[in-house]
Copies of this chain bind each other. A is one copy, B any other.
Amino acid sequence: IYKPVAGVASDSSQVRILLSNLPDIPGTAAKLFGALAQNNISVDMIIQSLARNGENSIAFTVAEEDLNATLETIKNQKDIILTGEILTDNDIAKVSIVGAGMVDRPGIAASMFRALSEKNINIKMISTSEIKISCLVEKNNAKDAIKALCKEFGLESSEEAVVKG
């Protein structure tokens, strides 16, 4: 059978940091991630939604063991004037579905979200690309989420792919 979703993956090794009230002007994101790169901190997800009143917030995830170095880097950088909050959340797990066949099928994302909502799992953040949809959920929901997604998309739980997508 042809399956549009080839694999399901989860990663509970990350923490999420959000910087609020950043100036929504060219260069802000470059300075923030430039400072992290200079300190050799690998960033996984980056999510920036709509600016409101000339300010924006940027959320990103790093490995748990890099949290302190990340917060140090943010505090020590002098390029961005930080007037907002620095919010950390270490109760996150990234659950993803991956598949090249998802691209032209409306409804794959809806099916993923429905499968999670039927287990009463709240979606904390969402980020997508053409072949991958990732949701942040609470860590203790990760196992149930993976089981629900494998069932929804007809995958054996062993097909939990370590797919980069």
Residues of A with Cβ closer than 8 Å to B? 18, 24-30, 33-34, 36-37, 40-51, 57-59, 87, 100, 103-107, 109-110, 113-114, 116-117, 120-134, 164-165
Contact = CB atoms under 8 A, between A and B. Distances in A.
Copies of this subunit: 2
A123 B26 contact: yes
A29 B114 CA distance: 8
Given A37-B110, A43-B106, A57-B49, A29 B125 contact: no
B50 A128 contact: no
Contacts of A127: 46-48, 127-129
Contacts of A27: 117
A132 B110 CA distance: 22
Contact of A47 (B43, B49, B124): B49
